[in-house]
Amino acid sequence: MEEKKSFFELLDSKSAMIFGGVGGLLVLCTIGFFVMLGLVFGGKIKLGGSAVVAYDASGQPAAQAPTTPPANIPKTAKPVVELFVMSYCPYGLQMQKAYLAAWKLLGSKADMSVKYVDYAMHGKKEVDENTRQYCIGKDQPTKLIAYLECFSGKDDYVACLKEAGVNESKVSSCVASTDKQFGITAKYDDQSSWLSGRYPIYPVHADLNEKYGVQGSPTLIINGVEAQVGRTSEAVKQAICAGFENAPAECSQTLTNVNFDSGFGWTTGSGATAAECK
């Protein structure tokens, strides 16, 4: 992981000698601007490519303001919103936690769902959990958000099935029929079929993965196009609301703009990230 350094550390005496003449003055003025910006966020900033990441006084990345909703989202009367994840992908879990609050707010106005990337990177437990979640959404959709909220927090499907009030017999029956319909276990057992020989195929939403060109977890699709948004509930909400022909009153409500940590748990402070499982 890159060590966080202040501009005063980056701008050592050797570097300072390079910044001569008019060009150096312009560079120093630019640096001064970002130093002032860094003070607003606890006095610490870090260069990362073309981005400037702000850190708070504790050394943690500061919560980022929501980005402007992507301009490429088509508008419809009832947006179709699909979040593609791998159930054990830490970055998919990060986005899913942000997505759940937006889903609770807008689920009656938009057609929202969680779907699954067409390969698994985290072993048999991910293949099984994908199917478990798929079946809850298919047969007991009113239980899915509560289950995902629980599972995203503590990676304990047994406890979460009970906590969310899921009918486990229905889930077991659905898992068996879904496995037979899509040949999930057969594909897992046939390593010659794995992606690049490393990752088992997960075929339940393979057609949609191909249609949208899904390349990893998470991928957010709104009205048929990929939406690149920040991983906060407010950013996700804004992107979905941009897909309405006439935005509902719920879009005026402000959701949390805190970035959840990647992986399991509801802690915050990881900052914005574009990382994916891919």
Write the pLDDT tens digit of every residue in 147-156.
Answer: 999 999 999 9
What distance in Å separates the CA atoms of residue 136 and residue 151, rounded to the nearest whole number? Answer: 13
Percent pLDDT > 70 in the chain is: 74
Higher pLDDT, 13 or 205: 205
What distance in Å separates the CA atoms of residue 54 and residue 151, rounded to the nearest whole number? Answer: 30
How many C-beta atoms surround the C-beta of residue 146 within 10 A? Answer: 17
Predicted local confidence at residue 70, as pLDDT: 81
Look at residues 166, 177, 69 and name the one whose alpha carbon lies nearest to residue 131.
177
**Strand pairing class (44-48; 51-55):** antiparallel
Tell me where in the chain the CATH 3.40.30.10 domain(s) lie: 80-252
Output the CATH code of domain 80-252: 3.40.30.10
What distance in Å separates the CA atoms of residue 191 and residue 75, rounded to the nearest whole number? Answer: 42
**Strand pairing class (219-222; 111-116):** unpaired
Look at residues 199, 203, 200 and name the one whose alpha carbon lies nearest to residue 179.
203
> What beta strand segments (E) does the chain contain?
44-48, 51-55, 80-85, 111-116, 219-222, 225-226
Both tokens of 151, joined, read 């599972």
The pLDDT confidence band at residue 67, using thresholds 50, 70 and 90, is low
